[in-house]
Structure 1
Amino acid sequence: MVTSHVLTWEVTASRGYETSWIEFRGTRLTAHGRAVGTRPEVYWISYDLDTAEEYVTRELHVRAATSMGSHELRLLHDGAGRWTSNGKPLPEADGALDCDLGLCPLTNTMPVLRHSLQALPGERTFTMAWVSVPDLTVHASEQTYTHLGRTESGARVRFASGGFRSDLEFDGEGLVIDYPGLAHRHAPGAGLRVQDDQ
C-alpha cells in the first residue's frame, strides 16, 4: 500500500513556508519539497529525499538560491554508515543513518518512525548528517528524541540537541504537526490519499 501526503508548514524560524509531497511505501519514504524563507536571509530551496527500508536515508538532493547565487548539495549514504557530500567523503558523519535538513520539519520523521517513538515510550540518541540552510554545509549533529506521551492525534516527542530542546507534536504516521520554535503545520491531514500498491 502507498500512502501519500501533501503538507504545508509555516516555518516561523525562517519567517517562511515549506510544502512537501511525501510518499510512504512500506518502511520507505520518498519526498520532494519547496521552501522559501526570509531569515537569516531571503532564500529559496527545493529538495528530493529518498530512503531505504526502515527509513534509512539513501539520498538528499538540495538546491538553494540566495541573493549571492545558486548552489546545490547531493548527500549520499551507502547504507553502511558512510556518507559523501557532493562526491567527497564525510567521515564526521560516519555511523549516522539519517539526514536532517535544517528548518525542515519532515526530516524529524525518519528516526521517530524507525523506533516507533510516535506510538511507544522510549528515548534514543542519534548522530545525524545535519544540513545548514541556506548555505548547505553538512555537519554531524547529536540529537535525542524522547517519547513524552500520546495525544489524540499521535504523540509528543521531545527533541534535544546541544542546549536546544523542543516538545514536538507528531501525528499517528510520524509527521510533524507542531514544532515549537521552528514550524507548525497548516490543515493537518489535508492532502492525504491512500491507494493500493499494485
Structure 2
Amino acid sequence: MTTSTAVTWDVTASQGYETAWVELTPDTLTARGRVVATSPRPYWLTYRLETGPRYVTRRLRVTADTAEGVRELDLRRDERGRWEANGRDLPELAEALDCDLGLSPLTNTMPVLRHALHHAPGPGTHELLTAWVSVPDLTVRPSRQHYTHLAPGRVRYASGDFHSELTLDDRGLVLDYPRLARRLPD
C-alpha cells in the first residue's frame, strides 16, 4: 500500500522552509521537494529522492540556485553499493546506505524506517555512514551518524559533536528536530 502526503517544515537552521511531497510504501520512499532559505546566504533547492527496497538510497538529484549561479548534483548508489556524484566515483561511501541532504529533516526518515526506530519496543542504537550533502554548495562527503530509539516516536540523532532528540509521526516523518526544523500543521 502506498501513502502520499505533503509536509512542510519551518527550517530554523536555514531561516527558511522546506516542502516535500512524499510517497511511502512498506519498503520504499520517493519524494520531491523544494527549499527556500536565507542563511548562511539566500538559496533555493529543488530535489528528487528515490530509494530502493529497505529504504536504501538509489538516487538524489538536487539543483541549488544562489546569487553565484546554479549548481546540480546527481548522486547515485547502485545495487552493488557503489556511489557516484555527477559521474565521479565515491569509494569512501561504499558502506553507506543513505544520503543526508543538509538541513533537511526528510532524509532522517530512511534510517528511522529501515530500523523501525519510531515504533521500536525498546532502546537500541544504530551507527551508520551516510553520503552527506552540504547545502547550498552540494558537496558530498561521508558522515558517521548514530540513531538511538528512546521511546515510540522519539529518536536521538548524533553526528560528531551535534545531537538532537527527534519527534516523529507514526510514518517516521520528522515532526520536531530541535535546532533544525519543526513541521507545520498539515
Partner of 1:147: 149
2:177 to 176, 179, 183: 179
Partner of 1:163: 161
State the shift of 1:68 in Å. Answer: 0.2
CA contact (8 A) 1:56 1:79 kept: no
Partner of 1:138: 140
User: Larger RCO: Structure 1 or Structure 2 (Cα < 8 Å, ≥ 6 residues apart)?
Assistant: 1
State the shift of 1:94 in Å. Answer: 1.2
Q: 1:1-198 to 2 correspondence within 5 Å?
A: 1-120=1-120, 121=122, 122-150=124-152, 155-187=153-185, 190=186
**Partners in 2 of 1:33 and 1:129 — Cα distance?**
18
CA contact (8 A) 1:80 1:95 kept: no
State the shift of 1:26 in Å. Answer: 2.8
State the shift of 1:81 in Å. Answer: 2.0
Query: Once superposed, which parts of structure 1, at least 4 consecutive aligned residues long, lie more than 4 Å away?
Result: none
State the shift of 1:82 in Å. Answer: 1.4
**Partners in 2 of 1:147 and 1:26 — Cα distance?**
20
State the shift of 1:25 in Å. Answer: 2.4
Q: TM-score, normalised by structure 2?
A: 0.97
State the shift of 1:92 in Å. Answer: 1.4
Post-superposition Cα deviations, 1:30-72, rounded to whole Å, max 9, x if no partner, equal 0000000001110000000000011000000000000000010
Post-superposition Cα deviations, 1:83-119, rounded to whole Å, max 9, x if no partner, equal 0000010111111000000011000000010000001
**Partners in 2 of 1:4 and 1:125 — Cα distance?**
29
Post-superposition Cα deviations, 1:107-146, rounded to whole Å, max 9, x if no partner, equal 0000010000001132100000000000000000000000
**Partners in 1 of 2:166 and 2:36 — Cα distance?**
22
**Partners in 2 of 1:160 and 1:80 — Cα distance?**
27
Secondary structure of the 1:117 match is coil
**Partners in 1 of 2:82 and 2:156 — Cα distance?**
27
Q: What 5-or-longer segments of structure 1 have no aligned partner?
A: 191-198
**Partners in 2 of 1:111 and 1:20 — Cα distance?**
18
Q: TM-score, normalised by structure 1?
A: 0.91
**Partners in 2 of 1:3 and 1:34 — Cα distance?**
20
**Partners in 1 of 2:164 and 2:26 — Cα distance?**
29
Secondary structure of the 1:181 match is coil
